[in-house]
Chain A
Amino acid sequence: MELERLIAVQQFLYREARLLDERRFDEWFELFTEDCLYWMPTRYNRLRDGTGEQWPVEAEVEDESGLAYFEDNHRMLRRRIDRLKTGMAWAEDPPSRTRHFISNVEAEDGEAPGEIVARSAFLAYRSRNEGVGEDEDFFSGMREDVLRGDGNGSFQIVRRKIVPDFVVINAQNLSIFF
């Protein structure tokens, strides 16, 4: 049962990543519930002050009152996707060639009945234009998703928290999803 659930979650996350890499953004959008939150808080170097304390990651990630790279509700996610269709989204014209590598998947019961918390690591590769030099970017981080059954044997994302492995984005923008 546990294994079955884990495989189902893994397959869901892999498929979701493939939808992004195939630029099937409308189908990807359908994977989010109407009350969703797509959240990527910023992170900073925290003072340890020689105490030797092993600071938990959460302590160096901004909370809800701080700045986030993404803080999207359903409507904002929709706007990001609609922007790509305006013919004037220059940062994605020509579009990025992306590959989302998803690994380290864990699944456990969520707080609400029927909800699952899925954790995964990602490495996202972006290639643009000729794809050399400044046209190549890597983004690394972890995701904590709250999933809800979609009634058809698969899932929808209620909440995605993306914790980046950077303090300064080593790229000119975040024009792709994670």
Chain B
Amino acid sequence: MAVDFAQLVADDYTWVSRQAFRDPEIHAAEQERIFKRCWMFLGHESQVREPGDFFTTYMGEEAVIVTRGLDGALHALVNSCRHRGMRVCRADRGNTKRFSCPYHSWTYNANGELIGVPRRKEGYYNEIDLSQNGLIQAAQVDSYRGLIFATFAADAPSLRDYLGDMAWYMDLVLEREGGTELIPGIHKWIVRANWKLACDNNAGDWYHVAFAHGSSAKLNQNPNQFDEDDNRLQISAETGHTLCAYQYKPGKRWMGAQHQPQILTEYFQETEARTAKLLGPDKGRVHFIAGNVFPNFGWIPGSYTIRQYHPRGPDQTEVWSYCLVDAAAPREVKDAMKRMYTNSFGPSGLLEQDDGENWTGCAASSKKPVMGRESFNYQMGVGHEWNIPGLPGQHVGRATSEVVQRSFYRRWLEQMTGRSEPVLRVIAREG
């Protein structure tokens, strides 16, 4: 029986059926309607600087090789031989002129073109058309300020249009003299929970921070980590891309985390004027805490990390977590940022540990006969959203709101049903 996706989500997005977090049929439909339709984050241009450089990753569950082609262009090649389907690349990264299949040695170049077929004369009588048997490629590949994305949908909007207002917020992190780069290496781990549980948290769940991550606040002897005078916000960038952010009073800027090493404080003091000039007055007052580019590209810029929540069936997610730093920063500053990230949101991080613990427990209960028929509750702050002049995005809520999750599931439903939803009601800020 076909799933009626509209029955899984409330009209005002205040609840989502737990069925959406465990059902193999829904998961299969997500592969078609989300992961083959949306722009997927692949990696950073710093991973593929020279022609022939490559790294492997996933678009949803599809294994892909991202290459800097011989032509200098970026390619996203499906990592599966056109002959019998074996993975033609089994390395995580490197530089190569060719990908040779270990099964029958069909060989492709870094552009994905088939350049060699053994026994072409004796076996194929020269009748095989190499040009028709290159690796399957993403329909569009593009990058935004160093971040590489691709989509399998030829008719998808441009990457810039897809990102929409979210690009304004991404700029807060990416717009730096010299740009950004990734620290070599990727943290990869398995969480036994549906990918959406991770994403609706990363979307901007400020509510859990004081409780789920209470151990860190206690360690820092600082239960209230934020200055009450400044605005703690949740922002829906109106296309399912969301974030939680901190809007400072004019003239104030984020200067790094509390308890950061002195070298980082000095770095932010030294670069503040130049960064403020690059960002301008509106952007300069906003600090991007955490967010999610739909569907599964998570950001926690205050801890120098971006991550992809790769789906692995309805019950499992493979987290790939990267450390993103200012490219022009001195080596010692990058090292300090790397340790700040690892110690907080790496898989051994004092904050990350407890997220996996919670998502796994949430997922497990959703498979049970009684609770599996219930829904998750997303009603916090519904009807209490507003706009803030100068901040892109249509819906803003307090830190204690679930406007970002409602935005995420609204986009999810739009993708799953292929229909456009009425715009959420925006009301004037109370008081």
Contacts and interface: CB of A to CB of B under 8 A. Distances in A.
A90 B92 contact: no
B188 A70 contact: no
Contacts of A80: 350
Interface string A60-71: 001011111111
A108 interface: no
Nearest to A168: B188
B219 A172 contact: no
Interface residues of B, number: 47
Contacts of B419: none
A67 B338 contact: yes
Contacts of B347: 69, 169, 173-174
B188 A172 contact: no
A52 interface: no
B331 interface: yes
Nearest to A176: B348
Interface stretch (B17-25, B132-140, B178-186): B178-186
Interface string A89-106: 111100000000000000
A24 interface: no
Q: Is the interface of A mostly helix, strand, loop or mixed?
A: loop
A83 B215 contact: yes
Contacts of B342: 67-71
B160 interface: no
Interface in A34-48: 40-42, 44-48
Interface residues of A, number: 42
A86 B189 contact: no
Contacts of B187: 42, 67, 69, 169
Contact of B185 (A67, A82, A169): A67
Contacts of B218: 86-88
Contacts of A91: 353-354, 356-357
Interface stretch (B93-101, B108-116, B230-238, B381-389): B93-101
Given A48-B91, A67-B184, A90-B354, A169 B219 contact: no
Nearest to B190: A170
Contacts of A92: 353
Nearest to B335: A65
Contacts of A7: none
Contacts of A41: 185
Given A67-B183, A83-B219, A174-B348, 15 more contacts: A42-B187, A65-B335, A67-B338, A67-B346, A68-B342, A69-B187, A71-B342, A79-B350, A83-B216, A86-B219, A88-B214, A173-B189, A173-B353, A173-B357, A174-B353
Interface of A: 40-42, 44-50, 62, 64-72, 76, 79-80, 82-83, 86-92, 134, 167-175
25 contacts: A42-B185, A44-B93, A44-B186, A47-B93, A48-B91, A62-B185, A67-B183, A67-B187, A67-B323, A69-B347, A70-B342, A70-B348, A83-B219, A86-B218, A88-B214, A89-B215, A90-B354, A91-B356, A167-B92, A167-B188, A168-B188, A171-B189, A172-B190, A174-B348, A175-B353
